[in-house]
Amino acid sequence: MNKILSTLIAASVFSSSLLHAADLPPLQSDTEPNRIDWTQLDAKFGPVPKAGPDLKIGGVSKTLTNEYWRTLGKGYANAAKQYGVTVVYQAAANEDDQMGQLAIAETLITQGFKGLLVSPQTDANLEPAVEEAKSKGITVINVNDAVMPGAVHYVGNVQKDNGVRVAQWFIKNRPQGGKVAVIEGQPGVYAARQRTQGFRETIEADKKFQVVASVPANWSRETAYNNAATILQQHPDLIGFYSNNDDMALGVVEAVHAAGLTDKVAVFGTDGISDAYASILRGELTGTVDSFPELTGEVAMNVALRVIGGQPLPRVVSTPQAIITKDNAQQFKTANRDQLIKLLQQN
């Protein structure tokens, strides 16, 4: 009788959670009021619930061709080792392989994973798998970049703030103003929209600046190079570029160098990959907004285990970001975990 009662209670709780998820408004991670900063998790919710030895978490990433996503997976592995759980991390062949990424998610759902950490290629391509996972009681955490409207939980930084920080750098360091351009990510992806919007709104509020071009490069270094070369031909007096990720920014750096404008055109990216740091320290890339993917991966695993363990976490857990230039690149590049956290608390 007790077993029957327990089953009924469990079914009721599960049904209620599905109803709650269905009642949630579409997620806008940058503006969602039900949020918490990653540094507050322990203080507000206590330790991470102890996981069983057989607990398996699946990670579904955009691609492993971009260092950002490889580093995020390293964060998952770090936290999985710390908490004694198994993690399997898989990714699509490239950032355009939406069906391949969906197939990976659907396969993991059939293999006994209790939670999925997903970084969708677009805001919609993993929705079928996510709905299936929810129906099976599998916890799904949307981790950074594209944001699924139906996501119950999201871990990542404030995407709009990436662009805002770069625009603020231009306003402070190029007070004379001038022409700037944006190299966007993939059209229709939340992160790309927000990063671009944050940059445009902030820099256009200062009337001395003019955004003369804003074109998508689909996260591709080669496409970014070609787009930047065209923009520089059309606007030889351009003073700067903002790219929605570092791979594209490094393509822009090549185009600027080829045009002989390295000392005149500032170039910023987003993500904080090691190639970006190296380029900054060589005096090529002007800067990036680092969103600390390894730390983000660790936080995401922490959040997944808390949700699986029944803790009532807010819908969004915000992770850190910092603008990196030659002035502070060495400091952030060499920081160990404790030093990094101190730096971020001061940022």
Alpha carbon distance 202, 167 (integer Å): 6
Alpha carbon distance 117, 98 (integer Å): 16
- Ranges in the chain, pLDDT < 50: 1-20
Domains of the chain: 27-156+293-319 (3.40.50.2300), 159-290 (3.40.50.2300)
Alpha carbon distance 186, 116 (integer Å): 23
Instruction: Judge contact between 275 and 318, C-beta under 8 A.
Output: no
Instruction: Judge contact between 191 and 185, C-beta under 8 A.
Output: yes
- Residue 269 to residues 246, 250, 274: CA-CA distances in angstroms? 5, 8, 12
Alpha carbon distance 81, 72 (integer Å): 15
Q: What pLDDT is stored for residue 52 in this prediction?
A: 81
Q: How many helices (H) and strands (E) does the chain have?
A: 13, 13
